[in-house]
Amino acid sequence: MAEQEQTPQRRPGGRSARIQQAVFAAVLEEVVARGYARTTLGAVAERSGVHRTTIYRRWSDLDTLLVEALRDRSGHPVVPRDTGALATDLAAYAQDIVEVLAADTGRIISAVLGSEAARLDGVRGILGEVLTTRRPLSSEIVRRAVARGEAPQGTVDVEVIDHLVAPLYFRLLLTGEPLDEEVARRCAAATAAAVTAGVFVREPGPAS
């Protein structure tokens, strides 16, 4: 996308910021509690304590509000910790992801992706943004392991992280099984073993 000169947008402050955060929290709580199909701006106004006219003036419809609230919520990534070793890096990251998914964020993800809201262009755009920004961040775990000699050269970092977190999201979105420290530990141990065994090594193809 070409860069364009724009007037910088100011983040709302003071009362405006409090109103925005109250409305954002309310719309996400409504979607979790009632489901996307039954959520209305009127219900959001009642839950947030913000007058309907204020909400209607700022957000043209429910979908616009929901997308903005999700984008605001998605702006806080889980940053992988550097524990000094691949196995413990993976375990720490898996545990941090579990803590997020077992809390409100997990319920929001389930409610949104399990409903028609998942079809919204704005929601799909946020998912794309999350993958684009989170993958390089989490893949640093693998790059550090390669540099330390714990992972073979040619290990595909993205595949390692996908293997680590996929079972967690599978439980969240499909089976509903518990997400806890033991699950995080098993996922990390299995992933570390696969990395050491060279499962994720991809040899470069022949030069064309």
Tokens found for residue 55: 């909400």
C-alpha 34, offset from chain centre: 22
**Given this model, what pLDDT does residue 13 score?**
57
CA–CA gap between residue 200 and residue 153 (Å, rounded):
10
- Report the pLDDT value the prediction gives residue 9, as an integer from 0 to 100: 43
Residues 61 and 25 grouped into a single domain: yes
3-state secondary structure 37-65: HHCCHHHHHHHHCCCHHHHHHHCCCHHHH
Q: How far is CA 99 from CA 84, 131, 149, 167, in A?
A: 22, 19, 30, 14
The segments of the chain whose pLDDT lies below 50 read 1-10, 208
Looking at the structure, tell me whether residues 102 and 145 fall in a common domain: yes
pLDDT at 144: 97
Q: How far apart are CA 135 and CA 201, in angstroms?
A: 18
Range of the domain at 36: 14-73
Same domain, 52 and 105: no
Residue 101: its H or E element: helix 86-101
CATH number at residue 159: 1.10.357.10
Number of domains into which the chain is organized: 2
Task: For residue 42, tell me if it sits in a domain.
Answer: yes
- Among residues 93, 80, 92, the alpha carbon closest in space to that of 136 is found at 80
Q: Indicate if 93 and 187 belong to the same structural domain.
A: yes
Alpha carbon 55 to chain centroid, angstroms: 26
- Same domain? For 108 and 171 the reply is yes
pLDDT of residue 204: 66
If asked whether residues 92 and 164 sit together in one domain, one would say yes
